[in-house]
Structure 1
Amino acid sequence: MVLRSYWKCRLKSSCFPAPRWIRPGLAALFWFCVTQLVCGAGALGETKSVTQKDAEFDVTYNDTVKSYNQTIYAFNHTISRNKTEGVRVTVDVMQQHLESPILFVIRQKQAVMSFQVPLILRGLYQRKYPYKHVGRTLCQPPTRAASETQYFFVDVSTLSSQETNFQLRVSRVESFTLQTDRKFSFTASPSQPQFFKYVFPDGVDTVIVKVNSDVNFPCSVMSVQDIQCPVYDLDNNVAFIGMYQTMTKKGAITVQRKDFPSNSFYVVVVVKTEDEACGGPLRFYPLQPDELIDAGNRTKDLDVVVSPAINSEKYVIGMLFCLGIFLSFYVLTLLVACVENKRMKRREMFPNPPDTSPAETGKTPASPYEYGSFADNGSTLSSEAITDCATSTDNNYGYLERSLDSVARSRQESLSSVEEDDYDTLEDIDSDKNIVRTKKYLCVSDLARKDKRILSKKYQIYFWNIATIAVFYALPVIQLVITYQTVVNVTGNQDICYYNFLCAHPLGALSAFNNILSNLGYVMLGLLFLLIVFKRDVTHSRALLRNDLNALECGIPKHFGVYYAMGTALMMEGLLSACYHVCPNYTNFQFDTSFMYMIAGLCMLKLYQKRHPDINASAYTAYACLAAVIFFSVRGVVFGRGNTVFWIVFSVIHILATLLLSTQLYYMGRWRLDAGIMRRIVYVIYTDCIRQCSGPMYIDRMVLLVMGNIVNWSLAAYGLIERPNDFASYLLAIAICNLLLYFAFYIIMKLRSGERIKCLPVVCILFTAVVWGFALYFFFQGLSTWQKTPAESREHNRDCILLSFFDDHDIWHFLSSIAMFGSFLVLLTMDDDLDTVQRDKIYVF
């Protein structure tokens, strides 16, 4: 009692601290006596009474507490090694306005838990929320004995000089141990968290803990913690240990037995004091820094279910299924190659005579003098208008010489049958590109004048540049996502990554192996496309070596550099998409979209290159433009949300870039961007539109560019008005719309020009269109979105739909990789019908 009075006196402001010269021992005791005399006899006379009461479960105790009165409630219960019972302590304080809190200390075997009532919980910006009704569940220390009686004590004390009423009730928790596949319902609040125990049954190594609620708010946190004391079950400490995630309506965590040595774990559910973490509104600021804010009613009804996850057999089936789908394309390609090889050998054994003109075969293109006009004209070409290249053989040189002579004669006859007034008769018509490219009707031979070796090297740079970009891009990406995954595994914070948690199957250190595996199609089909291109490249090179007429004079000029770049980009899309899905979030979205922009850009460049091989953009220019697109993509996601200035700047740049590109395409690059550009524009408008009111010289190009400008200006206006949150998808939609528009224009103009599409590309077009339709359906299912908070993203999570292993987004990966591969095949084979047509008879559009 003397020692207690000493410490009590030390707490009073009138007591004196001991000087530094006082040494421990008798001198300290002497100084204590002096301070007791100074503090007054009241300090010695005021003693604190301690009362211990034997208490029972499920009994409500109404009592009072004061500064000099401490009450201890003693409980005992019998626990067994094979049965776990939860114990819950519930406390209520009667007073509405309490200046001094009541301290409750619960002492049990191997653990001590304390809390004050009212319980003060802090929110964002250190807002304070008091709770007068508190309920806590006691942790269960393990026992080695078959049965053991354990005691625990509830100490109640306060520093208030006034009596304070409280209620205390200790009860057993029913269904404290969760059963597999059995739903359990409960209610939680910030001051009354709940946790339950789950024990892994025999033969189950992985389970999924699912917590559901019918309402979004209040925001909650679910956590999985090891069996230990204390249990971190308050808003301010639930993130200290284990795995945790915020939730509104849905929450799911996959738990593996190997992570819990005791073969059991706690499922903890805490209701947060504020809703900002789940996307809710931000509450008002308190008027005073220490002002207490009424939290209101923040109880939430929830359900918890623990279900076994898939076993190793499902993993094997999923991997074999994925490999089987894409290996079947290798087998199908091999079969088609064998059939084509047999057909070519049959042609070599029975060489056909030179192909007749389209007019004689019934395939009549539009007249070259009416080409470029959409007017209805029924005129047809004579049999002398177009002469196809002769088909060469490997060992018939005499036939090759006769074919060359026939080609020369057919060209002279074709030229002699045309009036001279229809052609510019300047001497430099065949050398000056300013004259050649401004002709009203162009053929591929007009834009294929450069040396083939120079062009081949020019377009090979596309491949080498994208290979270099891929290496330097992929290495830091892989390093970064490994760091992300490590942080998730170490901290347990599952709000970092936006998975579909209801269908996220871990493997090793990876949290969602199925989302990574489904990207295998991009890599395998990209490699297959490279092999197909390599086969065509080798065949074409051999034809050039033997001076084959079809390779030298006929068809679309064969340049494979862009094709190699496309195949490499498809493989890199698979690799980087897999890296993105290691930990998908808004900070690494560009891993998944960067090569999508490149694929769209390369496809448009390849379409343009087919008919304009001499004037296509260089690799450096093309990749510089794509780098600018990726730059805007990053800026748009990070700073574009609700930023008016950014959207205005982007829309202006979008429109200006569209106009510049339109001018470049319309004039075939024969214009200059300098100080006199505005003067020339005004002059052209005055002379062609006002003075003469003449129509455009290049009708087809003008139609394409007008439609392209309408589409792009509409997209720019939509972005400026709506300001979509997903800027990356918006930018990708712009690229896809332009690609589809140009592709449709190419097909229409090809058919209008009297060209035909062979069976293989027709099949590829139809097949690809169907696959793209299904792929987009699964893409727009939206199983998660990093545009919202992690808790809101989990509201879109859904169970697996394919083999209990793949979800909707995995199917999107499957179908989109197949659709991209089919689209590449369409570009590769679309002009195979022109392989025996002279280039000066193939129209440019």
Structure 2
Amino acid sequence: MSGFALLCGLPWLLGVLPPALPAGAGGRSSRPTPTKAAVFDRVYAGTVNINREELYSFNYTSKPGQVDAVRVYVKSDSEDLQYPILFVVRQQKGVLSWQVPLIFRGLYQRTYNYQEVSRTLCPSEPTPEMGPSEQIIFVDVASMALFDIEYELLVTRLKSFQLTTDKAFNFTASPSQPQYFLYKFPPDVDSVIIKVVSETVYPCSVVSVQDIVCPVYDLDHNVEFNGVYQSMTKQAAITVQKKDFLGEQFFVVFVIKPEDYACGGSVPSSIKGKGNHTWNLQRTKSLQVTIVPSIKESDYVQAMLFSFLSFLSFYLGSLIVAFVHYVRVQRKTSAGRYSPDDGSGTVATSHPITTGTPEGSSYGAIEKLDLQTLSAGQYSEATANTRQNAAAFTDESSSSGGRQLSSPERGPPHGSDTDSSVEEESDFDTMPEIESDKNVIRTKMFLYLSDLSRKDRRIVSKKYKIYFWNIITIAVFYALPVIQLVITYQTVVNVTGNQDICYYNFLCAHPLGVLSAFNNVLSNVGHVLLGCLFLLIVLRRDILHRRSLEAKDPYTLEYGIPKHFGLFYAMGIALMMEGVLSACYHVCPNYSNFQFDTSFMYMIAGLCMLKLYQTRHPDINASAYSAYASFAVVICLAVVGVVFGKNNVWFWVIFSVIHIVASLALSTQIYYMGRFKIDFGIFRRVVMVLYTDCFQQCSRPMYMDRMVLLIVGNLVNWSFAVFGLVYRPRDFASYMLGIFICNLLLYLAFYIIMKLRSSEKLLPIPLFCIVATAVVWAAALYFFFQNLSSWEETPAESREKNRPCILLGFFDDHDVWHFLSAAALFFSFLVLLTLDDDLDSVRRDKIPVF
């Protein structure tokens, strides 16, 4: 044997290639299959088996500038999966093949068989240089079955293959009959929005945008391999930019999924392993596609200018108010400063604040008796009873409170007051140690600000500055990983093209650079700008306050609410961070990063309540460490609630119990001014209080105003707990935020009411801020409840809520919520900052505590 013959026979000797089978022995006949010349729009029927196959040829002429698309429809009644019919379509630049029955695999290895298949062939477009060209298509029909299998074949040329701008196009599709169409960008259009709608929710479908590349991925198992895609129930929208396609054209592909699980539907229980004809017939979906031009570059510039100028106008307004205030102060200075109000219409510069009990006040265990009628022994006995009563709440000795630090800004000690109405010290025992025992002071029936501002101002200011430094630390360590994570999310979306990852309002999602929804990010600029403005306003007040302290101004030292700005600084930083983290969340909003948008909302609400309480209780407010630890617990509960709270009854039972117990514990601390110690002896003290105040004698509460507030507050919180337990809302994060906001509004309303009851005034600026806060919050909440997406649902279900833009053709309802909520929070902060400006000329021992 020659070397050439040996080389040719080597593959068979090694067993690499199988030997040729003779005709009729299980192999196909070696004679060539005759080609049948066929025409479009004609149904061809025939049979095939292992020895018989059919080959059809279709010829047509393609002209330059004309896109010719051909669609092949085949059908077979055979359900034999062992011997399907194979269809192979050959074109000039590609081959497309499939089998009938066509098999799709779904969830849990379910299979769905289709006897009708229709596919669009990849179109070819000749160039002008080529001129008209002859195109030929071969359709090969074959089967390995030992028996005859019937089939039908229909090949048509599509008349409506190219989509037109601003013109709706209707069609139908099914899992085995996908559709795709061509779109070319007009010369004057740089970006378009592909809008797809359907009147029926199911079957679930996928909309894909793919570059002009063959083959086109138009089946359920490969549609995600190329381009950008979205799942869809009733509507979908994809924004496409011309710069992303070199040929300035693309395919829009529509695929119907064999199951609805991906869109939130359920798999029919009747489907087992074989095909179900009834189910298959129901998988047809009618769709309408419309391609409209998107916004231009000038619209981006206009939107950015609007966003920045709108909030920079707040800076201008603040400058005007500051200038007017400066002019008024200069006029007062030149005309001689007014004397402060001591509560009796007399000049109070000679009446420094004392640490004793103001006239008309009494301790909790002492009724309103005329102290002048008491003997020294009676007074001593009464005050001793007060100390014993206070110690009962704390299990501490009467001296456990220790001596409070004396303030350098406080006037001479008690007894130096020259008021003739005060009795001589020799008339009775004054018990000077009562003035430093916080257990006695805080259980007085009527408290004044001087009773709760006894600590050294410098130490208290440092205590509240910890809020500011801690929140900066939290912001840095929180924001950096958040930014890194959302960049990763956006990169994954851009690389994979899977737009089901992020829950945008796709009907109003304007991309810029790598951001898919730049408008949602831009609309958060208000939080940052207004947060910075609030910090500047607080800084100005802080500087003026420091100058007054350095000048030993008696107004600053002895009158008005003690000025501590640490919490205000923390609120400003929290507002700025809310804007930053909300922008990060809206880079790719989804189930995994929801807490980015809500964490600092909880902190803002908590800081506002702490600031409101600190105003009249500067010495006994919560420390920064305990406050931020509480916020951490709340954020953890929010995460656990979102992850495990859906339809989990036990979670809601535990959460409701924790909510009610926490409300009672906090109410007790507020009612007894922090003197009701929470430890293992709390149950014994609770029983003692219930026995003495409820069973032994049923008397009115000692602190009626506080009791009314706490009763209403507990009713509100218990209502929230019952509502959550009964209805179990899906959006647990918003549910938690609602609890915080309702408590804040309730406390603010109580504070304002008590302020007016105490004959205090509302100056024009805080009154304006209160009205503006109410109006802006009402408008903001209206837009907040216009749900445009929902990460608690599937992406397809979320897109059912998408709506077009409503402001400048660039911002949607949620963007307007961002604008208004930033302004509302800013006005809310100004309310807390200016609410008690009317007390700057009132002595602290005349300012009631509530």
Q: Under a length normalisation based on structure 1, what TM-score does the superposition of the two structures give?
A: 0.89
Instruction: Tell me the SS of whatever aligns to 1:69.
Output: coil
Deviation at 1:81, TM superposition (A): 2.8
Structure-2 change in CA distance of 1:714 and 1:370 (3 Å): farther
Alignment pair present for 1:76 and 2:59: yes
Letter in 2 for 1:656: V
Partner of 1:55: 38
Deviation at 1:62, TM superposition (A): 1.1
The 2-side partners of 1:204 and 1:427 are apart by 85
1:255-308 C-alpha deviation (Å, 9 max, x unpaired)? 011111111000001111011111112333865xx5444533211111011111
The 2-side partners of 1:347 and 1:462 are apart by 35
The 1-side partners of 2:458 and 2:598 are apart by 34
Letter in 1 for 2:266: P
Deviation at 1:563, TM superposition (A): 0.1
Letter in 1 for 2:121: L
Match of 1:824 among 802, 826, 829: 829
Alignment pair present for 1:562 and 2:596: no
Partner of 2:762: 757
Partner of 2:183: 198
The 2-side partners of 1:35 and 1:819 are apart by 80
Match of 1:706 among 711, 714, 724: 711
Partner of 2:353: none
Partner of 2:124: 141
Deviation at 1:428, TM superposition (A): 1.3
Instruction: Tell me the SS of whatever aligns to 2:161.
Output: coil
Match of 1:276 among 261, 265, 269: 261
Match of 2:680 among 655, 675, 678: 675
Structure-2 change in CA distance of 1:412 and 1:174 (3 Å): farther
Structure-2 change in CA distance of 1:30 and 1:214 (3 Å): closer
Partner of 2:807: 802
Match of 2:496 among 491, 497, 504: 491
Partner of 1:172: 157
User: Does the 8 A contact of 1:372 with 1:698 survive in 2?
Assistant: no
Q: 1:423-434 maps to which residues of 2 (within 5 A)?
A: 425-434=430-439
Alignment pair present for 1:617 and 2:637: no
The 1-side partners of 2:623 and 2:420 are apart by 35
Partner of 1:470: 475
Partner of 1:267: 252
Partner of 1:119: 102
Alignment pair present for 1:536 and 2:519: no
Q: 1:222-233 maps to which residues of 2 (within 5 A)?
A: 222-233=207-218
Structure-2 change in CA distance of 1:224 and 1:334 (3 Å): same
Alignment pair present for 1:413 and 2:419: yes
Structure-2 change in CA distance of 1:41 and 1:797 (3 Å): closer
User: Does the 8 A contact of 2:363 with 2:441 survive in 1?
Assistant: no
Match of 1:333 among 288, 307, 318: 318
Deviation at 1:643, TM superposition (A): 1.3
1:9-30 C-alpha deviation (Å, 9 max, x unpaired)? xxxxxxxxxxxxx986446668
The 2-side partners of 1:252 and 1:36 are apart by 56
Letter in 1 for 2:629: A
Structure-2 change in CA distance of 1:336 and 1:161 (3 Å): same
1:694-731 C-alpha deviation (Å, 9 max, x unpaired)? 22211111111111111111101111111100000000
User: Does the 8 A contact of 2:342 with 2:846 survive in 1?
Assistant: no
Letter in 1 for 2:541: R
Partner of 2:370: none
User: Does the 8 A contact of 1:141 with 1:228 survive in 2?
Assistant: no
Partner of 2:115: 132
User: Does the 8 A contact of 1:188 with 1:299 survive in 2?
Assistant: yes
Match of 2:70 among 55, 75, 87: 87
Structure-2 change in CA distance of 1:556 and 1:690 (3 Å): same
Structure-2 change in CA distance of 1:488 and 1:841 (3 Å): same
The gaps in structure 1 that reach 5 residues or longer are 1-21, 362-366, 374-403
Letter in 2 for 1:429: I
Deviation at 1:370, TM superposition (A): 8.9
CA RMSD in angstroms, aligned pairs only: 2.8
Higher mean alpha-carbon deviation, 572-581 vs 412-421, is at: 412-421
User: Does the 8 A contact of 1:101 with 1:118 survive in 2?
Assistant: yes
Q: 1:329-728 maps to which residues of 2 (within 5 A)?
A: 329-356=314-341, 412-413=418-419, 416=422, 425-728=430-733
Instruction: Tell me the SS of whatever aligns to 1:197.
Output: strand
Deviation at 1:88, TM superposition (A): 0.4
Structure-2 change in CA distance of 1:98 and 1:530 (3 Å): closer
Structure-2 change in CA distance of 1:41 and 1:768 (3 Å): closer
Partner of 2:383: none
Q: How many residues align?
A: 786
Higher mean alpha-carbon deviation, 622-631 vs 668-677, is at: 668-677
Partner of 1:183: 168
Structure-2 change in CA distance of 1:353 and 1:779 (3 Å): closer
Alignment pair present for 1:842 and 2:834: no
Structure-2 change in CA distance of 1:38 and 1:166 (3 Å): closer
Deviation at 1:31, TM superposition (A): 9.9
The 2-side partners of 1:35 and 1:821 are apart by 82
Structure-2 change in CA distance of 1:411 and 1:326 (3 Å): farther
Alignment pair present for 1:318 and 2:303: yes
Instruction: Tell me the SS of whatever aligns to 2:419.
Output: helix
Alignment pair present for 1:212 and 2:212: no
Q: Under a length normalisation based on structure 2, what TM-score does the superposition of the two structures give?
A: 0.88
Structure-2 change in CA distance of 1:564 and 1:415 (3 Å): farther
Structure-2 change in CA distance of 1:617 and 1:161 (3 Å): same
Higher mean alpha-carbon deviation, 523-532 vs 174-183, is at: 174-183
Alignment pair present for 1:254 and 2:260: no
Deviation at 1:470, TM superposition (A): 0.5
Runs (4 or more) in structure 1 with deviation over 4 Å come to: 27-32, 34-49, 96-99, 355-361, 367-373, 404-412, 417-421
User: Does the 8 A contact of 2:113 with 2:274 survive in 1?
Assistant: no
The 2-side partners of 1:151 and 1:40 are apart by 30
Structure-2 change in CA distance of 1:693 and 1:62 (3 Å): same
Structure-2 change in CA distance of 1:175 and 1:544 (3 Å): same
Instruction: Tell me the SS of whatever aligns to 1:64.
Output: strand
Higher mean alpha-carbon deviation, 524-533 vs 444-453, is at: 444-453
Deviation at 1:92, TM superposition (A): 1.1
The 2-side partners of 1:631 and 1:489 are apart by 31
Deviation at 1:418, TM superposition (A): 13
Structure-2 change in CA distance of 1:281 and 1:372 (3 Å): farther
Instruction: Tell me the SS of whatever aligns to 1:413.
Output: coil
Match of 2:779 among 768, 771, 774: 774
The gaps in structure 2 that reach 5 residues or longer are 347-357, 365-409
The 2-side partners of 1:44 and 1:634 are apart by 64
Structure-2 change in CA distance of 1:456 and 1:405 (3 Å): closer
User: Does the 8 A contact of 2:362 with 2:445 survive in 1?
Assistant: no
The 2-side partners of 1:341 and 1:577 are apart by 36
1:107-128 C-alpha deviation (Å, 9 max, x unpaired)? 1111111000111011112210
Structure-2 change in CA distance of 1:613 and 1:267 (3 Å): same
User: Does the 8 A contact of 2:454 with 2:619 survive in 1?
Assistant: yes
User: Does the 8 A contact of 1:200 with 1:257 survive in 2?
Assistant: yes
The 2-side partners of 1:704 and 1:608 are apart by 13
The 2-side partners of 1:786 and 1:209 are apart by 22
The 2-side partners of 1:682 and 1:368 are apart by 34
Partner of 1:401: none
Partner of 1:380: none
The 1-side partners of 2:341 and 2:359 are apart by 18
